[in-house]
Structure 1
Amino acid sequence: MVQKNTYYEVTFTDLTHDAMGVCKIDGFPVFVKDALKGEKAMIKITKLNKNFGFGRLIEIRDESPFRKLPICEHYHVCGGCNMMHMNYQTQLDFKKYRTQETLRKLGKIETVVHNTVGMSNPYYYRNKAIVPFGMRHGKIVAGLYRPRSHEIVDIRRCHVFPKVISDIIRYCKTLFAELQYTIYDETTHQGLIRGLMFRTSHAEGTIALTLITKEAKLTEKERLIHNLRRRYPGIVSIVHNINTEKTNVMLGSKSRVLFGEDTIQDTLLDLSYEISHRSFFQVNPEQTALLYQKALDYAALKPTDTVIDAYCGIGTIALTAARHVKQVIGIESVKEAVKNAQQNAKTNRIDNVRFIHGLAETILPDLAEHKPDVLFIDPPRKGCEKPFLEALVKLAVPRVIYVSCNVATLARDLNFLQANGYTVHETTPFDMFPQTSHVECVVLMSRVDK
């Protein structure tokens, strides 16, 4: 019987969906962070559940040839990345395998899964992140959380953030202390500064900052803006977001602009976009361009086509497709994103697209009269609501392109569509989040002729 706090010599035979090593002790499965398939190691059992346990890697006795030394000094304590101990090709192979196995096991989908599309430089790629602030031993800390906790890892440099953002985070710790801003404490619900959100423009190199506070009152605003702009002239927007709720959700419901506009400009596939601090925009611009091009290739658009873009965000897929078809209709639940999308259509002089504010599952059934030829789906991690999938089936859209950031909910939704008249032709995984186990997929489906 496996005992907690006991040491065992094990061999890792597989990886979990989140890249933990899998070993068995007398048939009892144990999951261990930072272990690789094929390695032999000494582990310590840290937690036991009824059917499985968790362990900590103590010593690697037989190291995998695919292991590498993480470049980040915070890697073993930070929850931001979980695959930096693998060489990059192994990460890409893992994501292809994970996509195949999840589609097969959860969705009963047998289809072609292509090699994962990777990056030439899999670091410093994120154009957006929210960074919590806190206090420890009388000093301000800022960074990312430890795995499965709300303890902030005080990060000197994050290797998936642009380098300038790590510099800004470090500088803000000093600046907030100089301005005598108090720092928010989750346990007492006291303090002013909750965190920072940043966006960067890949095309223009500009930066938008959102300062998240517990209270609406913010002193020394002019000094704050002056110091940030003097040190980082690339900052073109500073927004003050107020979150008075006792919650671990960072962004509050109210915001006001302190400097510039509540938008940042970026370019994707030769189109320009205005992105507000609340709008969704893919976090990896280099990979997004490749992903959207694959989605367009799968769609095989024709000049006579009518296209629906569900969960359209600020209109990136809709506007890209509009140049190739008769008309596009975008559906989006976030009002600010719809406004951004409408402005983006004007900015790019595209007049054959319209955007509707509302839930995709509510709006889609009302669009039957348009007889859509192609439907793009790019939902949040939870996937599509069942009423939306039922409406899709009823509309019998000939070609469907599904873009997913969660292969588990993708498998669930594809299983439903496959059982209701659709064939899954092929899938291409994209490494949108290098150094993590997350994977983005583009799937081509078509209606089966009866």
Structure 2
Amino acid sequence: MSDQDGAATRTGFANQDGAKFGANVNGKRPHGPSKRSLKKKQKTKRERNMTEGSTEEVLAADVQALLKSLKLSDDEAADEEQLAAALPAEGSEVNVKVLELSSTGDGLAVLHTPDSPAPPHPHVYVVSFVAPGDIVRVKVYRHLLHERHSVADYISVVRPGPLRDDSRIRCPYFSQCSGCQFQMLDYPEQLRHKRTIVEKAFRNFSHLPPELIPVVGDTIGSPLQYGYRTKLTPHFDGPPGYRPSKKNAPKVFFESRPDIGFMQKGKRKVIDIEDCPIGTDAVRKGMARERARMANEYAEYSRGATILLRESTQRYPKDSPEIPETIPSDAVRVDDEKHVDIKTCITDNNATTTEFIDDHIFTNPAGSFFQNNNSILPPFTDYIRQRILPPKSAASIKYLIDAYSGSGLFTISLASLFTSSIGIDIADKSIDFARKNAAHNGMKADSCSFIAADARQLFKSVTYPRDETVVVLDPPRKGCDADFLGQLLRFGPKRVVYVSCNVHTQARDVGALVRGDGGDGVKYEIESLVGFDFFPQTGHVEGVAVLNRVETEEMTAPGTSNEVPKDN
């Protein structure tokens, strides 16, 4: 999920689970550090509420690592009152030098004071839209003394660093919109940074010794760096005077078209955005169409809303007589060697969209989750196909369990490799579409089936032989819970492929599998780690970890019945 699908509030701090950080209080910025923030050796409420692998915790780990490299002593770290007196006032403007990029996509900087002595206490400033080596003008928003950093708003570049080239920027809203962070970086540099994100995730959150973590592979890039997003969700706020908390308040309607777009970085404000260059051509045409519609219908709205923009494809064989001679002005025609695709933009959450990944067809409710970058899905699924089975010299694997299967992307695209495959998801609607997708792709229920069940309970009914089974995991951002991981370990499949949109919670979970936490002696080793760039120009990276079960004397041997669960 990128920031276009979720509101971002302060600089770099709408976390990936939706938690807000450093937000204004009653629309006002705090004037200075409170007495509570000056207490020593006591976690703040925000620190206590951090969840493992959250954006806040990821940033905290990066800040602490940088301070350690700057030789911050324990005595300096403890003296918050002295630090507060030395820092610039909140609301003031200062120049900072960017030292590195954090795993959140924000720059980590220190005060730039070329004509005066360096500050006596190292202190980190977190600022967006910057590159290492940049010297930038920022406005200090808030000091978080207990965490040894301050949040600052980007104003302008004083002197660009060697990695920055603003001629690469394609969006007029860059440095205002919360969606993209890296448009000024060349693409190989973005990929190099995302490799370091995966490396730091496993170093900081797996709790494994370095010798158990393999070298992270080069990040696999997206064939498209712009024009790749098949889904955008611009939105608009309610009209002036709208009070959602007051149930009986009179309705207030718009007197003019509202600003429609995405959240401004560092503000609780929607930017009016006419076009988004990371959207596909069909999505961008849909955005223009919906903005024009709102210009005529704004008076009908008494509250804010989110607009769904989702690409859908109708495919024809190249020689089909049914190919339309003309298409609507807001549709897009794409020709290749075998097909003609007519792409349109769907705005009804309850409509059905159609997407083609290689030779597979997938239908989904327009408002549901499906990967939003179709250009990278063929190399992504091919990578997993090439690595999901062990080397030929190893024991044969015949069965696939796809946990968190959704509408069947992995179950269907990998099914030809196995005697039998089963996809499990908690959502009945997802399973309904997964079964339809299996039928669309000519798959029989006895070889590719789906069941609706809580993933935490799925292994209680699965009777695949564990020595002949591989499990694919693709959980939500929060990762897997301890109960599920314990259940997975007790089942003990031969191999595990863990796909994640949050490499930090992935690292945490993979660490538990390698240690065998609660697994009756079953443990795993990491065969490979690599990132995929599903969202170019942003700080997000998708992780793929391939694990092998370690054969130990402690392993218990549950039953290995060849009976497979029935589709229901």
TM-score range for the pair, normalised by the shorter chain length: 0.7 to 0.9
Structure 1 residues 97-246: aligned runs within 5 Å: 97-109=196-208, 110-134=213-237, 138-147=256-265, 149-179=267-297, 182-186=300-304, 194-201=305-312, 204=315, 231-232=329-330, 240=348
Alignment deviations for residues 141-193 of structure 1 (CA, whole Å, 9 cap, x no partner)? 3211223554221111101112332332233233234356523535xxxxxxx
2:376 is the counterpart of 1:287? yes
Aligned to 1:446, the other structure's residue is in SS state strand
* 1:119 shift after superposition: 2.6
Normalising by structure 2, we get a TM-score of 0.66
2:97 equivalent in structure 1:
11
Change beyond 3 A, Cα 1:356–1:181: farther
User: Quick check: 70-79 or 432-441, which moved more?
Assistant: 70-79
* Residue matched to 2:538: 436
The answer to whether the 8 A contact 2:228-2:278 is kept is yes
- Partner secondary structure for residue 422 of structure 2: strand
Q: C-alpha offsets along residues 365-392 of structure 1, whole Å, 9 cap, x if unaligned?
A: 3214553510000111111122111111
C-alpha deviations, 1:388-411, integer Å up to 9, x for none? 111110011110001110011111
Contact 2:139-2:152 at 8 Å conserved across structures = yes
Q: How is 1:413-424 mapped onto 2 (pairs within 5 angstroms)?
A: 413-420=509-516, 421-424=523-526
1:251-283 per-residue CA deviation (whole Å, 9 max, x = no partner) reads xxxx5xxxxxx3222211311111222432211
Alpha-carbon contact 2:330-2:344 (below 8 Å) kept: no
- Structure 2 CA distance, aligned partners of 1:235 and 1:64? 41
SS of equivalent residue, structure 2 residue 505: helix
More strand by share: 1
- What residue in structure 2 maps to residue 377 of structure 1? 473
Q: Which of 445, 458, 482 is the equivalent residue of 1:363?
A: 458
**Most deviating of 312-321 and 43-52:** 43-52
How many aligned positions are there?
401
Mapped pair 1:64 → 2:161 = yes
Structure 1, gaps ≥5 residues long: 187-193, 206-228, 242-254, 256-261
TM-score by length of structure 1 reads: 0.82
- Rg (Cα) greater in structure: 2
Q: Give the deviation of 1:14 after TM superposition.
A: 1.7
Q: What does the per-residue CA deviation read over 1:219-255, in whole Å, with 9 as the maximum and x for residues that have no partner? A: xxxxxxxxxx9653567786755xxxxxxxxxxxxx5
Quote the residue 1:40 is aligned against.
135
Q: How far off is 1:72 after superposition?
A: 0.3
- CA gap of 1:111–1:55, structure 2 versus 1, over 3 A, is same
Residues 133, 163 of structure 2: 8 Å contact kept: no
Q: Equivalents in 2 of 1:239, 1:156: separation in Å? A: 17
Q: Given that residues 352 and 364 in structure 2 are in contact (C-alpha distance below 8 angstroms), is that contact kept between their aligned partners in structure 1?
A: yes
2-structure distance, mates of 1:174, 1:418 = 54
Q: Distance in 2 between matches of 1:55 and 1:339?
A: 47
Q: How far is 1:92 from its partner?
A: 0.8
Alignment partners' CA distance in 2, 1:428 and 1:417: 18
The CA RMSD over aligned residues, in Å, is 2.5
Displacement, 1:65? 2.2
- Deviation readout 1:313-335 (Å, 9 max, x if unpaired): 11111011111110001001122
CA-to-partner distance for each residue in 1:406-428, whole Å, 9 max, x for gaps?
A: 01111110111111011112111
Stretches of structure 2 lacking an aligned partner (at least 5 in a row):
1-85, 112-120, 241-254, 317-326, 332-341, 517-522, 553-568
CA contact under 8 A between 1:279 and 1:314: conserved in structure 2?
no
2:415 is aligned with 1:322: yes
Q: Distance in 2 between matches of 1:235 and 1:62?
A: 43
In structure 2, the partner of 1:252 is none
Question: Does residue 341 in structure 1 map to residue 434 in structure 2?
Answer: yes
> Could you tell which deviates more after superposition, 404-413 or 9-18?
9-18
Sequence identity (%): 24
Find the residue that maps to 2:261 and give its secondary structure. Answer: strand
